Amino acid sequence: MTARAVPVLLACALALEAQAPPAPYLPDLSRWRLEILSGPGGWVTDPGQQVTFKLVDPGDPNPPKEERPSRDAYEDAESWRPPAPEPEKTPEQLKQERLRAEAERKANEWRHRTVRGWFNDEELSEPVDVNVSDTLSLTSRNGENRLVLLEPDSGARAARSWWVTTATTRLAVTVARNFRWGAWPWSPGARDSFPSGDLQVLEPDGTLAESGRTSPSGGRARWMEYTHPAPPPGTFTVRWVSSSYAEPAVVTVRVVLDPGTDREHRWRFDRLILPGSPPAILGTFDVDP
């Protein structure tokens, strides 16, 4: 081999080494940690809570960039413009894109994990990506609530406790959905939908609670639902106002008082409602002092 050939061979070897894919990242699981970024703590009054957490690998060589939420969605919508059309790509360009996408997928396979946990008496399982925040939507119970998160492979663990007061809705009146067999677009299957009309609840003092209004005592009507955090004692009357374009339907209303306690009571009212019918009484129930 001549002295001139040695530099040429060395240059070829360096070029092949540069083209070789980088070695896959091997995470050190002992350094991983679970962080709860936001969520309730102490005493809260809203039973609906969101907890944001992240499985963190401090040694991640290429952590994903998380997009921050826009400050003004309407402003973004006004400023949005359709992207300019891209030039048509050659088969070779498309092939290279597919290869890059496949290489990226393989390089990030280690990132996909499952965080398990427990919220009160309920078991949780949430797929996550390392170094990407995730949010859980939870419904708290009255009293103490505890969330525990665990990543099984690394043993990373995080916990959060909070207490809810006045979170229990003592009274809930809800309209059930109806099954309609052979209806479009699932024909000849089934479609479930709410009956056409409005739910009304007459409170013991004569106040009529209807959709979109809150009564002086605190009862709140929302289309197909009526709730009250502390219903006054007396007789409640459940009524239904049918739409003029409604089809004949059996309206089913379920009532639950003091759910999950030793004072729990339940009622169910069913009535066939015809189109254009005057306001109909579905049933009554009593709330004790």
Domain boundary among 167, 185, 209: 167
261 shares a domain with 155: no
241 shares a domain with 162: no
Domain hosting 105: range is 28-58+92-167
Q: Is residue 16 part of a domain?
A: no
Task: Give Cα 176 to chain centroid, integer Å.
Answer: 22
Q: Is residue 81 part of a domain?
A: no
Q: Nearest to residue 36, comparing CAs of 53, 56, 49?
A: 53
Domain boundary among 111, 135, 167: 167
Poorest-pLDDT segment among 94-98, 191-195, 262-266: 191-195
201 close to 235: Cβ distance less than 8 angstroms: no
- Selected residue with higher pLDDT from 2 and 95: 95
Q: Which pLDDT does position 192 carry in this prediction?
A: 45
Q: Nearest to residue 147, comparing CAs of 155, 136, 132?
A: 136
175 shares a domain with 213: yes
276 shares a domain with 206: yes
Q: Is residue 150 part of a domain?
A: yes
The average confidence (pLDDT) of the chain is: 79
Number of domains the chain contains:
2
Cα→Cα distances 263→172, 174, 259, 266, Å: 14, 19, 8, 10
141 shares a domain with 175: no
130 shares a domain with 257: no
230 shares a domain with 133: no
In which band, very low, low, confident or very high, does the pLDDT at 196 lie, cut at 50, 70 and 90? Answer: confident
123 shares a domain with 47: yes
Average pLDDT over residues 23-43: 87
Q: Is residue 63 part of a domain?
A: no
Average pLDDT over residues 198-204: 92
251 close to 273: Cβ distance less than 8 angstroms: yes
Q: Is residue 86 part of a domain?
A: no
CATH of the domain at 101: 2.60.40.10
Q: Is residue 21 part of a domain?
A: no
Q: Is residue 153 part of a domain?
A: yes
Q: How many CB atoms lie within 10 A of CB 109?
A: 8
Cα→Cα distances 283→183, 199, 202, 229, Å: 29, 12, 11, 21
Domain boundary among 167, 201, 221: 167
Q: Is residue 2 part of a domain?
A: no
